[in-house]
Structure 1
């Protein structure tokens, strides 16, 4: 089961979500989207909270108020972190998460620690947490199916781009051939290259 929350601090609103337990977190780790941003309390056990960006967006595109919502949600769903002040929330893109067979369920590390960012949270902001909790809904998504559907649409988009690129190349080649043909035609009809059957100064019909 997954909990979904709506952050309405931006227009349009964005969705935040997290697994109910470490086993759901494991599925989210396995079947996440490349557009997903992962949040967690640094060095303290907590929920894994995700934010799904639009394609081609980066961490720099996340609105500051959305970051605050995500970090407050992580803090509020950490048994120890919720009681602590001045904690750091780490966040990174899903594809930077590293999972090895030796790790415990729900545990992750990073392929590149330099791509992990931190945000300091001084205290819990109840107004933010309460606002998010009012939007909370429970769903039972099929993570694998969602990821396969997403990848299928991406493949279709790539094929469309390749097809359009080939069509543009074909049109350009056709245009070049037409221009070359017109150039050749014009060259053949230049005065200096034209000939005539007129017999200059010879009005005789004799063949002798």
Structure 2
């Protein structure tokens, strides 16, 4: 089961979600999307909260209000973190998560520590948590099927772009060819006109 939330501080609302337990988290780690940003309380057990970016959006484009929603949701869903003030929440792109066979269920590391960001959370803000919980819904998604559908659509989009680019290149090549042929034809016609009015006699003597 996955819990979905909407961050309505932006329009359209940003999508936040998390697994119900460490086993769901394991599936989210395995079948995450390149557009997913992962949030977790630093050094303390907590839920794995994800933010799904919109097409073209990057981790640098996330509005501060959305980050605030995400970190508050993480804190509220950490047994220890929810009781503590002045905690840190780390976040990074899903692609930076590293999973090795020796790790426990739900446990992750990072490929590059330099790509992990950290934000301080002074205290729980109930207004934010309550607002998010009002949008909460439960679903039982097929993680693998959703990821495969996402990848298939991406491949189709890339093929479409390639086809359109090829079509433009062919049209441009045809335009250049037509221009070259027209230029050659005009040049030929100009030469024929010169020959038409040339009687072949270079002398002005009529005798």
What does residue 178 of structure 1 align with? Answer: 178
Runs of 4+ in structure 1 off by over 4 angstroms are: 199-204
Q: Relative to structure 1, is the Cα distance of residues 31 and 49 closer, same or farther in structure 2, using a 3 angstrom cutoff?
A: same
Q: Does 1:144 align with 2:138?
A: no
Which secondary structure does the structure 1 equivalent of 2:187 belong to?
helix
What does residue 90 of structure 2 align with? Answer: 90
Find the aligned partners of 1:165 and 1:4 in 2 and give their Cα distance: 38
What does residue 115 of structure 1 align with? Answer: 115
What does residue 198 of structure 1 align with? Answer: 199
What does residue 22 of structure 2 align with? Answer: 22
1:64-105 Cα shifts (integer Å, max 9, x gaps): 111111000000111111111111100011111111111111
Structure 1 residue 135: Cα displacement: 1.6
What does residue 50 of structure 1 align with? Answer: 50
Find the aligned partners of 1:74 and 1:11 in 2 and give their Cα distance: 22
Normalised to the residue count of structure 2, the TM-score between the two structures is 0.93
Q: Relative to structure 1, is the Cα distance of residues 170 and 199 closer, same or farther in structure 2, using a 3 angstrom cutoff?
A: closer
Find the aligned partners of 1:4 and 1:79 in 2 and give their Cα distance: 19
Which secondary structure does the structure 2 equivalent of 1:118 belong to?
strand
Which secondary structure does the structure 1 equivalent of 2:195 belong to?
coil
Unaligned runs of 5+ in 2: none
Residue correspondences, number: 204
Could you tell which deviates more after superposition, 51-60 or 32-41? 51-60
1:100-123 Cα shifts (integer Å, max 9, x gaps): 111111111111111111110000
Which secondary structure does the structure 1 equivalent of 2:73 belong to?
helix
Find the aligned partners of 1:112 and 1:84 in 2 and give their Cα distance: 28
| RMSD over aligned Cα atoms | 1.9
Structure 1 residue 191: Cα displacement: 4.6
